[in-house]
Amino acid sequence: MTKSLFKEKKTKLEDTLRYLFSFVSFFGNSDHTTNNTFPGLSDYFQRTTSIAPLVVYRILFGAVMFASIIRFISKGWVYDLYIKPKFYFSYFGFEWIKPLGATGMYIVFGSLALLALLVMAGLFYRFSIASFFLLFTYVELIDKTNYLNHYYFVSIVSFLLILVPANKYFSLDAWFYPKIKTKWVPQWSIDIFKFQIAIVYLYAGLAKLNYDWLFRAMPLRIWLPAQNDFPLLGPLFEYTWIAFAFSWFGAVYDLTIPFLLINKRTRPFGFFLVLVFHLLTVSLFQIGMFPYIMILGSLIFFSADFHKKIISFLSKAFPANDKTSRESDTYPSAPSLVKPSFPQKLILGILVFHFALQILIPLRFLLYPGKLFWTEQGYRFSWRVMLMEKAGVAFFYVKDKTTGDEWEVTNRDFLTINQEKMVATQPDMILQFAKYLKEYYQKQGIENPEVRAKTFVTLNGRASRPIVDETIDLALEKESLKHKNWVTSF
Amino acid sequence: MKKKLYSFYLLICLSIISCNSADDGPNSGKDFDRSIMLENFTTNLIIPSYSNFNSQAEILLAASNTFNESVTEANLAALQEAWKKTAEAWNSTQAFNYVGPAYDSSFIIRINKYPSDKIKIEEHISSSTEINSAFIESLGGGEKGLPAVEYLIFSQEGNSVILNNFLTEGENRKAYLKALTENIKEKAANLEAGWQPSGKNYTEAFLSKAGTDAGSSTNLLANSIIQAVEDIKNIKIGEPIGKKGGSLQPEKVEAFNSEYSIDLIKTDLNAIENAFKGGEGAGFDDYLNKIDAKWQDDQLLSDRIIQQFESIRTALDELDNPLNKAVTAETAEVDKLFNSFTSLVSLLKGEMISRLGLSVTYTDNDGD
């Protein structure tokens, strides 16, 4: 009885997975002629394809990460963001993650740069990419002040890269241990990156379907006029219609680009749009390496032949790999379907779990009452990028309940410029800082400090209003993922 | 599929073009030129204010020399008047002291760090060290600059105390006064030269950065103005009235001995407002109006900000006592004053910065 029930559940699960992955296979099948458009789940997982796109992806990812880390260090941000602050806004549940001090942090960043190079070269690959993932994610978890969607994206991509054999061709690993060399990888090991990129774009696009973005052209209406000295286009940025055009273009772009890239015939046009879009954003806004990551990342959608050309071009630059490259000129036909081994099954389980989370996490905001942009409950980790111009000022007041004395905290005594700016508009950070102030003044000998916050927050050009109830003693509130009822309604 | 997508993009392009001809909303017209605003600032506001401070410092130096030569009631009155004018001239530069030469060499601390450290000052006067401008240069903030001069020439107990000090103690006090005023004059000349095209010409670099990124001049200027407002709020008013640490500290007001603090706050505030307005020329108010920044549907943000300057002035006018006495005598009024500054800070630091697309940060933002 129980057994049959279990079986039933199992088939149901299989059905669900099959459904889910029929979507995945849709992403991957453009380069393959197959009669079976929606193959069975196990059939799909056994399908193989050329390793070339994965190899190029590994090399480009390593190279861009190396450049990013070096840029980060050379701008002095290791010091500004991870050494100088007196207080770090940790993530709920990750309070145990702490910075390691000056020497420690520079070692971490030095290691990240080195590991990025190792990933690029494909040396000690699984170790390198796993360490890169752990260290990078560790750094990102130190302080939510520095949260950027693109750092989250880097963490995810490096996690997915751990699961795939991107070192089995055109790598130092394959050069040292030719035994591992192969030209074929499971189809899914490439499709997962396409799927991940599609999730990013689609959620980013869905997030743009809101009143402010579409019908008030906010926040671009604020941001674009500030760029009126931009070459050629600059003077146009002062017109409202341009902000509307950019907003609508952005939304349509995000929602259609995955499909344009998947489809072989629209791919060149899609990539052209990718270039236009990201190069425009890189020159308009202060967004660092992200556009480059996205441009190079979207190359994964291109055909194996395209990537083979890249590899043969690269192999000319590295004569050490000459032998490998000449071999690559003739590709044998794909091996027959391979039955997944146990570790592969484990990996597939992890992937199913990962993508289920990827789909659910951006939707968690639905569990909270109130307007998302205002409360920011469930805002992060959801590909909501450049969606709002939110700014504000927060004044914190501490009261010694015994003497009745009350004073205002000089935020800059405790926070960096960046932290002060971020804390002012994000309720969870307001609470964290209030808790920190409570502890600080308790150590100063004030037994029972009351902490209140007077805030002025402006969202997308609206008159500023308090974001938290000014009368609430934040020292008494608990940090949790639950709805914060002291946040004002929008 | 492909055709549909192409036509979708085409449709957007077309609608953009059609919108173009239809648009003549309040946001058109435009062409706000930040270079013109920056030039207005250097030519009509910044350089003149430092130049004025420099000439006042010259007058102060001359007055102190006259006083030193002949310690009389009349000469003291003239010296005190010169000090007030110099302190006002300094406060008129305050909106610009967080950008360029003044900020780079921490002039605020060198020229106007209060309260003065009377114990150390008296120690220097009674010691046998030779007192000259170089010696003054080596001293800490509270022992030099305008507050130290103020301590030497003003007393809440009356002018006779001052005259008596100078007449009985002789040369060292005079030498200290002379060296202090010389030092201020030197600083003032440096500051002016820092901006003057004929001098170190920071103006050139200032005008060249006409963008809106973190290091741009518009950004630095806006942040300097905000910092000046925050200084009044936190240091000039907040500390004396106990907003820092809870207990009242009336002795921490600016110009404690002369009880001239309210006047100086007014000068400071007026100069900041003038900077916001760009004087007679293009300023932040015009910039906000150009982009049609509204506070609420029927009120421009610039008007709201100017209204807040007004209400602070009203709150200042309501005080009957000098600030060091108002701290205890008029607690409700000083509280109201403090709160009206809080609102001004939020308007400038929150709304204005946000609407103008300026930034206080230098790191990356989130990309798309």
- Set of chain A residues whose Cβ sits within 8 Å of the Cβ of B242: 405, 407
pLDDT of A195 higher than 90: yes
- Set of chain A residues whose Cβ sits within 8 Å of the Cβ of B295: 463
CA distance B34 to B40: 10
pLDDT of B28 higher than 50: no
Nearest-CB residue to A456 (from B9, B27, B346):
B346
pLDDT digits (tens, 9 = 90+) for A185-194: 999 999 999 9
Residue of A nearest to B304 (CA): A463
DSSP element (H, E) containing A211: helix A211-215
CA distance B85 to A344: 82
pLDDT of A199 higher than 90: yes
Nearest-CB residue to A407 (from B5, B245, B364):
B245
Please work out, in degrees rounded to the nearest 5, the angle formed at the alpha carbon of residue B230 by the alpha carbons of B95 and A90. Answer: 130
Residue of A nearest to B343 (CA): A456
Q: What is the pTM of this model?
A: 0.87
DSSP-based three-state secondary structure for A171: coil
The answer to whether the beta carbons of residues B263 and B86 sit under 8 Å apart is no
User: Across residues A158-175, what is the average pLDDT?
Assistant: 95
CA distance A12 to chain B (A): 33
pLDDT digits (tens, 9 = 90+) for A376-391: 999 999 999 989 999 9
pLDDT of A324 higher than 60: no
Tell me what pLDDT residue B31 has: 63
Kindly tell me the burial class for residue B205, based on how many C-beta atoms sit within 10 Å of its own C-beta (0-12, 13-18, 19 or more). exposed
pLDDT digits (tens, 9 = 90+) for A445-480: 999 999 999 999 999 989 999 999 999 999 999 999
Q: Does A424 touch chain B (CB under 8 A)?
A: yes
Interface of A with B in 262-291 (CB under 8 A): 263, 265-266, 269, 277, 281, 285-291
Q: Does A231 touch chain B (CB under 8 A)?
A: no
**DSSP code of B171?**
H
**DSSP code of B41?**
I
DSSP element (H, E) containing A23: helix A2-28
Nearest-CB residue to B2 (from A265, A290, A456):
A265
Tell me what pLDDT residue A189 has: 93
Interface of A with B in 326-385 (CB under 8 A): 385
Q: Does A421 touch chain B (CB under 8 A)?
A: yes
CA B341 to chain centroid: 14
pLDDT digits (tens, 9 = 90+) for A98-141: 999 999 999 999 999 999 999 999 999 999 999 999 999 999 99
- Set of chain A residues whose Cβ sits within 8 Å of the Cβ of B363: 77, 80-81, 146, 286, 418
pLDDT digits (tens, 9 = 90+) for A435-451: 999 999 999 999 999 99
- Set of chain A residues whose Cβ sits within 8 Å of the Cβ of B240: none
pLDDT of A229 higher than 50: yes
pLDDT digits (tens, 9 = 90+) for B338-355: 999 999 999 999 999 999
Q: Between chains, do B212 and A287 touch, taking CB under 8 Å as contact? A: no
Tell me what pLDDT residue B3 has: 54
Tell me what pLDDT residue B350 has: 92
Diameter of chain A measured on Cα atoms: 85
Name the least confident of A63-67, A174-178, A330-334, A397-401.
Answer: A330-334
Q: How many helices (H) and strands (E) does chain A have?
A: 20, 5
ipTM for this prediction: 0.85
CA distance B217 to chain A (A): 13
- Percentage of residues of chain B with pLDDT beyond 70: 89
- Set of chain B residues whose Cβ sits within 8 Å of the Cβ of A424: 350
How does DSSP assign A114-161, residue by residue? HHHHHHHHTSSHHHHHHHHHHHHHHHHHH-GGG--HHHHHHHHHHHHH
Q: Which of A469, A392, A414 is nearest to B343 (CA)?
A: A392
User: Across residues B185-214, what is the average pLDDT?
Assistant: 93
Tell me what pLDDT residue A337 has: 54
The answer to whether the beta carbons of residues A149 and A383 sit under 8 Å apart is yes
Tell me what pLDDT residue A260 has: 96
CA distance A17 to chain B (A): 27
- Say how many CB pairs under 8 Å bridge A and B: 176
CA distance B328 to chain A (A): 14
pLDDT digits (tens, 9 = 90+) for B43-93: 999 999 999 999 999 999 999 999 999 999 999 999 999 999 999 999 999
Residue of B nearest to A282 (CA): B367
